[in-house]
Structure 1
Amino acid sequence: MFTGIIETLGEILAINHEGTNVHFTIKSSISNELKIDQSVAHSGVCLTVVALESNSHTVTAIEETLRKTSLNNLTLGSKINLERCMQMNGRLDGHIVQGHVDQTAVCIKREELDGSWEYRFRYDRNQGNVTVEKGSVCVNGISLTVVASEDDEFSVFIIPYTFEHTNLQEVNVNDSVNIEFDIIGKYVAKLIKR
């Protein structure tokens, strides 16, 4: 479980293909604190650490993960949001995040305002996911509050700290992002369908 509060940015050092799997090696300020078999959210995708170097770690994404996320868009030098799993004796500053990306969305608006940024994203509503105004959504692993919500779009506002300390600074119009919808909303939507 995660909170959606990003600890640090990592940088993609290597991308290696093995069958349908992809191994990503990431340099970060927390890599030297990680352990083999530890779960870490990588731009919202929960991946297991499989190898360690002094200042980098390697994770493996399988075909299912690559199909549901935007990890295939990563290139050498790409920035990636990192968060270690939450500690049960700490505060829950964001919201409950599983690290299980539901689908990707496309950025359709990025506007710099006077002291913040507005991002608007469009997603395939046929997958049954929903957002609500003032509800929570996880974009590239970042816990955010939905400002405006429609059937297949939502918008969020980003404060300067979040912009400067996450990979949202690299997200432009037409870029794909990982979306994890609020877990409570997903259960409610499924119950209503029944």
Structure 2
Amino acid sequence: MFTGIITAVGQIKSTQPKGDGLHLVVEVPDGYLDDVALGDSIAIQGACMTATNFEGNTFALDISRESLNKTIGLDKTGPVNLEKALRLNDRLGGHLVSGHVDGVGKVTHFSQVANDAYGSWLLRIEAPKSLAGFLAYKGSIVVNGVSLTVNKTADSASACVVDINLIPHTLQSTTLGMLRQGDAVNLEVDLIARYVARMLETQAK
């Protein structure tokens, strides 16, 4: 379980084929792995992975073909958002996050908000239509592992478009500041919304 509060930005240093998936080596800041043990979970770009080896400031993991098919940004080298698994005595600064990516969205707009004294940016994402029922005004969404608040939703026949405002701190401390129009992003809907939808579905039968 995670919170969507990024604890470090790391770098995927290498990717090597392993079975039908990949073996990744991820470099992290000094001291980041001090309290991490073999088999612990670390979310990478919002996807929960298991640490299988440590060497210096790097950890290794194996990612299956299924995970690669359901996510984006885990099959190549480059910067990634990291979050270690939640401990029972940790602050819940974001919201409850499972680390299971529900779909891949597309950035359709990303620019600084005009005349905003705080320097906020507007991020607009086109989410899969299948996620529309879980996305609501002032609800939570995870984008590449970051817990964010939905400021607006708009449904179309093929997608659900969500607007999100990002403050400068979020842009500086995560990989979201590197996004560009057209980029694909990993999305996870609110865990509670998913269970509510399931309960309503079963009651309707």
| Structure 2 length-normalised TM | 0.88
Distance 2:58 2:43 in 1: 15
1:120-135 correspondence to structure 2 within 5 Å: 120-126=124-130, 129-135=133-139
CA RMSD across the alignment:
1.5
Q: Is the 8 A contact 2:20 2:65 kept in 1?
A: yes
Q: Please say if 1:53 is aligned against 2:61.
A: no
1:1-194 correspondence to structure 2 within 5 Å: 1-29=1-29, 30-72=32-74, 74-76=75-77, 78-113=78-113, 114=116, 115-126=119-130, 129-151=133-155, 152-194=160-202
- Residue 42 of structure 1, CA deviation: 0.5
Identical aligned residues as a percent: 33
- Work out which of the two has the higher radius of gyration on C-alpha atoms and give 1 or 2: 2
AA in 1 matched with 2:18: E
Q: 1:129 to 1:24 in 2, by over 3 A?
A: farther
Q: Is the 8 A contact 2:150 2:164 kept in 1?
A: yes
- Residue 140 of structure 1, CA deviation: 0.6
- Unaligned 5+ segments in structure 2 are none
Distance 2:18 2:132 in 1: 33
AA in 2 matched with 1:89: N
- Residue 127 of structure 1, CA deviation: 5.5
Q: Is the 8 A contact 1:48 1:60 kept in 2?
A: yes
Where 1:150 maps in the other structure, the secondary structure is strand
AA in 2 matched with 1:104: V
- Residue 190 of structure 1, CA deviation: 2.6
Where 2:182 maps in the other structure, the secondary structure is coil
Distance 1:32 1:169 in 2: 27
Deviations 1:32-88 (A, max 9, x none): 54221110010110000011110111111101111111135x432x11000001111
Where 2:9 maps in the other structure, the secondary structure is strand
Distance 2:48 2:124 in 1: 24
Q: Is the 8 A contact 2:122 2:163 kept in 1?
A: yes
- Residue 129 of structure 1, CA deviation: 4.8
Distance 1:50 1:23 in 2: 10
Deviations 1:86-126 (A, max 9, x none): 11112211000010111110011101123011101112213
Q: Is the 8 A contact 1:32 1:53 kept in 2?
A: no
Deviations 1:12-49 (A, max 9, x none): 11111112111111111114542211100101100000
Where 2:52 maps in the other structure, the secondary structure is strand
Deviates more, 1:28-37 or 1:140-149: 28-37
AA in 2 matched with 1:123: A
Superposition misfits of 4+ residues, deviation over 4 angstroms: none
Q: Is the 8 A contact 2:131 2:189 kept in 1?
A: no
Where 2:25 maps in the other structure, the secondary structure is strand
